[in-house]
A and B are shown apart, each in its own frame.
Chain A
Amino acid sequence: MGEILNLAFQTFRAHKMRSFLTTLGIIIGVTTVIAILSLIEGLNQSVAKQIRSIGSDLIFVTKFSMVRMGPTNFEEIAERPDLTPEDALAIKQLSSVETAIPTIEQNFAKLKYRDKEVAQTSIEGSSEDFSKAYNYIVEIGRDLNFDDILYKRNVGVIGSYVAKNLFGDESPIGKDLNIGAHRIKIIGVYKEKGSFLGQSMDNLIVIPYTFYDKTFPRRRATVFEKAFGGYTISVVPKPKMVERAMDEIRELMRRRRGLRLDEPDNFELGTQQMLFELYQNITRVGFVAIVAIAVISLIVGGIGIMNIMLVSVAERTREIGIRKAVGASNQNILLQFLTESSVLALVGGIIGIILGVLLALLISIVSPLKAAVSLWMIILGFGFSAAVGIFFGMYPARKAASLNPIEALRYE
């Protein structure tokens, strides 16, 4: 066996350029697959981690579905009643619910403090339990409290990104910042939380929803503003009570809205788990596409190998005759050529694995995407290329093995 391997590598070296070109298909195929798989894997890992870090087992009550795919009837959604802070209060009373908060937000606000400003900041109008629901921890100052909500105070807690960029080393507590013409007094700063899907979770300001309502009037000019504006309610269920909480919330909301038995829900319930599943569905489509690309390029690479092996068998007809004359069996010859095609494919596979890993690392360095290379991908790349080598090498190898030694010896 060592002898056969040795022989295969000799042949590889004897035709360096030819061998390289032959394996190019495999190299490209394996490189693409490894690079993209490790990026998807990296994305999956960070999304899973991040979705968990948003908050624990949140249930979202919304007007429109966050996870439904396919056509959506925006007119119908626009006609649904808005969710209200009163709904949140009612949900909060349920036995399976820890707390429920109303949230109303706008995403691309500009905050100013003296001559400095930050952009793309989320303004969250919410209640005193916002930090509890979304796992924020107050680092300096204090959190919102019930009085802030009740008296519609113009106070806010800011994320670490806002604090760093507007105040630098200064303490932000007690300072006033501006949102447009509105002034808000900062009472606290949240501890840094990192980013979610490449978006910072620290570029935000949380203010009492009562103050938000007063300051930023709800716009209802278009169907989309009607459908997507307004409150959502985030619910923290009691431990291990997600299912029960969902049932109770649905029951409660239907009752509050006086829906008859035969009427469908005019609100939607979603969970973080559903969000993650939605995300996985999206990446699964990508995954299938990758597999298709991989299969096609490996077939192309395999055909290349088969072609060159047929050439090789024809070129070496006399060699095959000689080997048979001195006692090589058909099986010896079969194994020799099969090893050769496998070595071709495997060398391509190994180069492809190395390039793929490098490519993934490169992408992680120059872009926010993070790659996660794992052993199974390398094994997959290895296995696939070996399989291609054997599968597409089989026909030429059988052809070589079945040559008649006498005719092979006469071959010029």
Chain B
Amino acid sequence: MLCLAKDIYKIYTMGKVEVEALRGVSLEIEANEYISIMGPSGSGKSTLMHILGCLDTPTRGEYYFEGKKVSDYTDAELARIRNRYIGFVFQNFNLLPRLSALENVALPLIYAGVKKKERLELAEMMLKKVGLAERMRHRPNELSGGECQRVAIARALVNNPKIIFADEPTGNLDTKTGSEIMEIFDRLHSEGRTIVLVTHDSNIAQHAKRVIRLIDGKIVE
């Protein structure tokens, strides 16, 4: 088992008001699964993804990643887990504007301590995989939305992660480009990757083999 969440609560304090974003979520994710977390905005799906992706820790409850209890890890330990085992793809791509596509893809490897030459070789390989090899010297503002998202996917892959989290990966793209991106995820899954899709769009969610619905911080299905 890759991820195991046990009765997770996440409570935000906004001023004097406490907001319960997650209210007792339990979830298991096996290796090689293709799973989507669905729900309307405000349902807590992004919060859940952040905790599963080790970007955040739960207020209560336990979370195990690869059998290790990471819910009480320090920031530095979480950063290491993210760097080695997790890839993220975001709705708004989140590329660094001053770096080329190639350098963006190579970014996680810097923090893994990989040497420069090897970094660029690996990054180039990943860009070939998403079909962007010929545009690797371009900066994000010279690329289309679909191309940016491919760069982001290549970046998520470059560390050979155990799991990829994609948060509304097609949200900023037109339908055609969106389905091209989804084809990439489908292909990655068929190659044996574990993928978690976070979306409010049921058409997108259908690509996954298992769909989890989240409403008001609880799994309903």
Which residues of A have CB within 8 Å of B50?
A: 406
Which residues of A have CB within 8 Å of B75?
A: 329-330
Any chain B CB within 8 A of the CB of A10?
yes
Any chain A CB within 8 A of the CB of B179?
no
Any chain B CB within 8 A of the CB of A230?
no
Any chain B CB within 8 A of the CB of A92?
no
Q: Which of A14, A322, A327, A331 contacts B94 (CB 8 A)?
A: A322
Any chain B CB within 8 A of the CB of A326?
yes
B110 touches A325 (CB 8 A): no
A326 touches B82 (CB 8 A): yes
A406 touches B55 (CB 8 A): yes
Which residues of B have CB within 8 Å of A322?
A: 94-96, 107
A319 touches B96 (CB 8 A): yes
| Shortest distance between the CB of A13 and any CB in chain B (Å) | 10
Which residues of B have CB within 8 Å of A252?
A: none
Q: Which of B80, B96, B116 contacts A327 (CB 8 A)?
A: B80
Which residues of B have CB within 8 Å of A405?
A: 55-56
Which residues of B have CB within 8 Å of A324?
A: 55, 79, 82
Complex: chain B residue closest to A322, CB-CB: B94
A327–B112 Cα distance when bound, in Å, is 8
A326 touches B108 (CB 8 A): yes
**From A14, A318, A326, A328, residue with most partner B Cβ within 10 Å:** A326
Any chain A CB within 8 A of the CB of B185?
no
Binary per-residue interface labels of chain A (320-351) against chain B in the complex, 1 for a CB within 8 Å, 0 otherwise = 01111111111110000000000000000000
A326 touches B83 (CB 8 A): yes
Binary per-residue interface labels of chain A (293-328) against chain B in the complex, 1 for a CB within 8 Å, 0 otherwise = 000000000000000000000000011011111111
B76 touches A331 (CB 8 A): yes
Any chain B CB within 8 A of the CB of A115?
no
**Which residues of chain A from 1 to 31 have any CB-CB distance to chain B below 8 Å in the complex?**
3, 10, 14
Any chain B CB within 8 A of the CB of A409?
yes
Which residues of A have CB within 8 Å of B90?
A: 409
A405–B50 Cα distance when bound, in Å, is 10
A332 touches B98 (CB 8 A): no
Complex: chain B residue closest to A316, CB-CB: B96
Q: Which of B55, B95, B98 contacts A14 (CB 8 A)?
A: B98
A327 touches B55 (CB 8 A): no
Any chain A CB within 8 A of the CB of B139?
no
Which residues of A have CB within 8 Å of B79?
A: 324, 327-330, 332
B80 touches A3 (CB 8 A): no
Which residues of B have CB within 8 Å of A3?
A: 110, 116
| Shortest distance between the CB of B9 and any CB in chain A (Å) | 17
A328 touches B111 (CB 8 A): yes
Any chain A CB within 8 A of the CB of B88?
yes
Any chain A CB within 8 A of the CB of B60?
no
| Total count of chain B residues near the partner, CB < 8 A | 24
Any chain A CB within 8 A of the CB of B155?
yes
A331–B83 Cα distance when bound, in Å, is 14
B84 touches A318 (CB 8 A): no
A329 touches B76 (CB 8 A): yes
B82 touches A327 (CB 8 A): yes
Which residues of A have CB within 8 Å of B56?
A: 405-406
**From B83, B88, B116, residue with most partner A Cβ within 10 Å:** B83
Which residues of B have CB within 8 Å of A326?
A: 82-83, 88, 107-108, 111, 155
Which residues of B have CB within 8 Å of A328?
A: 79, 83, 111
A327 touches B155 (CB 8 A): no
A323–B79 Cα distance when bound, in Å, is 10
Q: Which of B80, B82, B116 contacts A325 (CB 8 A)?
A: B82
| Shortest distance between the CB of A336 and any CB in chain B (Å) | 10
A318 touches B111 (CB 8 A): no
A31–B213 Cα distance when bound, in Å, is 66
A305–B142 Cα distance when bound, in Å, is 32
A322–B90 Cα distance when bound, in Å, is 10
B111 touches A325 (CB 8 A): no
A406–B94 Cα distance when bound, in Å, is 12
**From B80, B88, B94, B95, residue with most partner A Cβ within 10 Å:** B94
A406–B54 Cα distance when bound, in Å, is 11
| Shortest distance between the CB of A110 and any CB in chain B (Å) | 74
Which residues of B have CB within 8 Å of A321?
A: 94
A405–B55 Cα distance when bound, in Å, is 7
Which residues of B have CB within 8 Å of A406?
A: 50, 55-56
Which residues of A have CB within 8 Å of B107?
A: 322-323, 326
Which residues of B have CB within 8 Å of A14?
A: 98
| Shortest distance between the CB of B171 and any CB in chain A (Å) | 14
| Shortest distance between the CB of B58 and any CB in chain A (Å) | 13
Which residues of A have CB within 8 Å of B116?
A: 3
Complex: chain A residue closest to B79, CB-CB: A329
A326–B87 Cα distance when bound, in Å, is 7
| Shortest distance between the CB of B108 and any CB in chain A (Å) | 4
Binary per-residue interface labels of chain B (104-134) against chain A in the complex, 1 for a CB within 8 Å, 0 otherwise = 0001101110001000000000000000000
Complex: chain B residue closest to A331, CB-CB: B76
Given A406-B55, A406-B56; A327-B98 close (CB under 8 Å): no
Complex: chain B residue closest to A401, CB-CB: B75
B98 touches A10 (CB 8 A): yes
Which residues of A have CB within 8 Å of B159?
A: 327
| Shortest distance between the CB of B214 and any CB in chain A (Å) | 17
Those 7 A-B pairs whose CB atoms lie nearest each other, nearest first: A327-B83, A329-B79, A326-B108, A327-B111, A329-B76, A327-B82, A322-B94
7 further A-B contacts with Cβ under 8 Å, apart from A10-B98, A328-B111, are: A3-B116, A318-B94, A321-B94, A323-B107, A325-B82, A325-B88, A326-B107
